[in-house]
Amino acid sequence: MLELFRQDFVQNAFMAGTIVAIVTAVMGYFVVLRAQAFAGEALADIGFAGATGAAIFGISSLLGMFFLTLLAAVGMGALGERIRGRDVEIGMVLSFALGLGVLFLSIYAQFGTNAAEGVSVLFGSILSVTRSDVLITLVCGILTLLIVALLFRPLLFASVDPEVAQTRGVPVRALSIVFLILLGITTAEAVLVVGVLLVLALLIAPAATAMRLTRRPLATITLAVALGLIFTWGGLILAFVGTGRHLPVSFYITTLAATSYFISIPISRLRSPRCYKDRPHPSREHITTPLR
Residues interacting with other proteins, by CB under 8 A? Answer: 32, 35, 37-38, 40-41, 79, 84, 87-96, 98-103, 105-107, 110, 115, 119, 123, 197-198, 200-201, 203-205, 208, 246-248, 250-251, 253-255, 257-258, 261-262, 265
Whose Cβ is closer to other proteins: residue 35's or residue 135's?
35
**Identity of residue 62:** L
Task: Find the shortest distance in angstroms from Cβ 84 to other proteins.
Answer: 6
Cβ-based nearer residue to other proteins, 99 or 171:
99
Q: How far is CA 99 from CA 41, 75, 120, 198, 235, in A?
A: 15, 18, 17, 19, 31
Min dist. Cβ of residue 205 to other proteins (A): 5
Nearer to other proteins, 136 or 192 (CB): 192
- Rounded CA separation 176/191 (Å): 22
User: 101 vs 184, which CB is nearer to other proteins?
Assistant: 101
Nearer to other proteins, 35 or 218 (CB): 35
How near is the Cβ of 152 to other proteins at its closest, in Å?
A: 21
Half-sphere exposure of 65 (CA within 13 A, CB side): 29
Q: How far is the CB of 135 from other proteins (least distance, A)?
A: 27
Nearer to other proteins, 59 or 88 (CB): 88
Report the length, in residues, of the chain: 292
Of the two residues 116 and 287, which places its CB atom closer to other proteins in the complex? Answer: 116
Q: Let me know: does 235 contact 44? Beta carbons within 8 Å.
A: no
Least distance from C-beta 99 to other proteins, angstroms? Answer: 2
Shortest separation between residue 87's beta carbon and other proteins, angstroms:
4
Query: Please, what is the end-to-end C-alpha distance for the chain in angstroms?
Result: 72
Shortest Cβ distance from residue 204 to other proteins (Å)?
A: 5
